[in-house]
Amino acid sequence: MNILRIDSTIKPREASVSAGLADRVLARLTAADPKAVVTTRDVIGVPAIDGNWLGAVFTPADQRNADQVAIAAYADELLNEVRAADTLVIALPVYNFAIPAQLKNWLDQLARKGETFRYTEAGPEGLLKGKRAIVALSSDGTQLGSDIDFASGYLRHMLGFFGITDVEFVAADRMAFGADETLARAHEAVDQLAA
């Protein structure tokens, strides 16, 4: 099994609840499959897409200038990591009710017509099918699935848009209202995951 771990916390890793939950998820998965290969991508520093990115990834490879070659190569590297993965483990801290900007940058880098999705007469079709995603969500005050949770629904939608529809959440949400109890429930949810 190939596992791609995505980190998006702005905190030091040892202080991050989402990173700690992702550690626990990975421990469960690798205990079940000791031969699993884990690739880690910290999306802090992944650049936002812009006009130069658009020009690079949609210019045929043999017509790209040197700057476009570099931009497209980076985007391809991110995409190839996802393509190679059987399972994605995404550490998701909720910031201001939504996903971190850097995680959105990563998703935007992946959103490429003809690579991760295509349009059909029946609507969009994701091209990264057959993968599983486990999302380790943490928040101080936002409850998973509540009216103010704009993080989990968006991430689930984007993964589904890419064809990744097997998405599970383990949540240490509303940490400000009882961190120990919340974390214990999250750990129990990880321990119940099918490995």
Percent of the chain surpassing pLDDT 90: 97
Burial of 55 (C-beta count, 10 Å sphere; 0-12/13-18/19+): middle
CATH classification of the domain holding 78: 3.40.50.360
Domain count, the chain: 1
Answer whether residue 160 shows pLDDT above 80: yes
Known binding-site positions for FMN? 16-18
Known binding-site positions? 16-18
Q: What residues make up the domain containing 177?
A: 2-191
Binned at pLDDT 50, 70 and 90, residue 177 comes out as: very high
Residue 194 confidence (pLDDT): 85
Which pTM value belongs to this model?
A: 0.96
The Cα 21–Cα 182 span in angstroms is 12
CB atoms within 10 A of CB 145: 11
pLDDT tens digits for range 20-54: 999 999 999 999 999 999 999 999 999 999 999 99
